[in-house]
Amino acid sequence: MVIYESLRLYTPGPIVPREAVKDLELGGMKVPKGVNVWIMLVTLHQDPNFWGPNVDKFNPERFSNGISGACKHPQGYMPFGVGPHTCLGQHFAIAELKILLTILLSNFRFTLSPKYRHSPIMSLLTEPEYGVHLFVRKI
Ligand code: HEM
């Protein structure tokens, strides 16, 4: 749930691009061949119509009944993209994150340093603008 919520609020790859290979109509809008359509995952992942009013809050519990329990739209959550080009490494990535978090949290305690400034920015990837200043204590 913590991993799902982190991928929602701080989506690592915030944009999924697609190119129209022929003239088409998308949601009533004409899209000519060759036009690039950007699916803004961050916008989907922070739409209060899909997620409810507390969309800005980091709340892993929202996934307690799975993705369909957390998000009202079936395509409202796609941190690993969608369709035939969906992320090939998604299951590996989730397994890796679970193992890493387990190792880190069973060996260290983390607290935020007063230097920490919360400022996620969106470039090619979502990044912490001023880094992540933490105090790390061995347990
Ligand atoms: C938290 C970690 C990761 C996130 C959030 C992520 C996210 C994404 C996204 C959004 C796409 C584009 C999907 C689309 O266009 O619909 C993608 C593609 C891809 N990812 Fe990942 N990814 C992650 C980790 C990994 C890992 C660990 C691997 C390999 C071991 C991997 C391999 C790939 C490959 C090969 C593609 C291209 C698939 C294609 O174009 O057919 N990813 N990923």
Q: ipTM score here?
A: 0.98
Pocket flag, ligand 1, residue 86 (CB < 6 Å): yes
Ramachandran area for residue 29 (φ above 0: left; ψ -120 to 50: alpha; else beta): beta
Domain coordinates in residue numbering, the chain: 2-138
Q: Is the dihedral of CA 20, 25, 31, 37 positive or negative?
A: negative
Predicted local distance difference test score (pLDDT) of residue 21: 96
One-letter amino acid for residue 14 of the chain: P
- For 10, other C-beta atoms within 10 Å of its C-beta total 17
* 87 is annotated as contributing to ligand binding: yes
Give per-residue pLDDT as tens, 40-85. Answer: 999 999 999 999 999 999 999 999 999 999 999 999 999 999 899 9
Q: Quote the pTM value.
A: 0.92
Q: Which CATH number is 2-138's, of 3.40.47.10, 3.40.140.80, 1.10.630.10, 1.10.10.10?
A: 1.10.630.10
| Cβ of 87 less than 6 Å from ligand 1 | yes
Locate the ligand 1 atom nearest the alpha carbon of residue 82 and give its number.
16
pLDDT tens for 3-35 read: 999 999 999 999 999 999 999 998 899 999 999
